[in-house]
Amino acid sequence: METLIGFIVTSLVTAVSLLIISKLPLGIEIDDFGKAVIAAVVFGLLNGLVKPVLFWLALPLTILTLGLFLIVLNAIIFGLAAWIVEGFRLRWGFGSAILGAIALSIINSILSGILGAFGIMT
């Protein structure tokens, strides 16, 4: 039960982050909060199910680039989520996915830190 609540809270934080990102000039468009929540859930599922497989397949390249290829993996997951969810679009293709993945990482960290300070997220 605790894991489900954690997933829900993380999904809501990611949804808010996606809405914030859609207001920045990064080429990311989200129709409304409902689409952002769906995108956040899809993003979380892709992170949990697809990213580990991609990580292991790309491990030699990740080592070769000293970890920088992880940004590309995050962008791939971001782009897949946009491809799956109707109402979540990347105006500039992979460029928007890279910028979005970086921005999502930063904004999620800030929001999680704020919620963690209030004891909402651990």
Q: How far is CA 32 from the centre of its chain?
A: 17
What residue spans define the domains of the chain? Answer: 2-117
Q: Residue length, the chain? A: 122
- Name the nearest CA neighbour of 100 among 28, 20, 42, 52: 28
- pTM score of the predicted model: 0.90
- Digit-coded pLDDT (tens) for 49-94: 999 999 999 999 999 999 999 999 999 999 999 999 999 999 999 9
Is the per-residue pLDDT at 122 higher than 70? no
Is the per-residue pLDDT at 4 higher than 80? yes
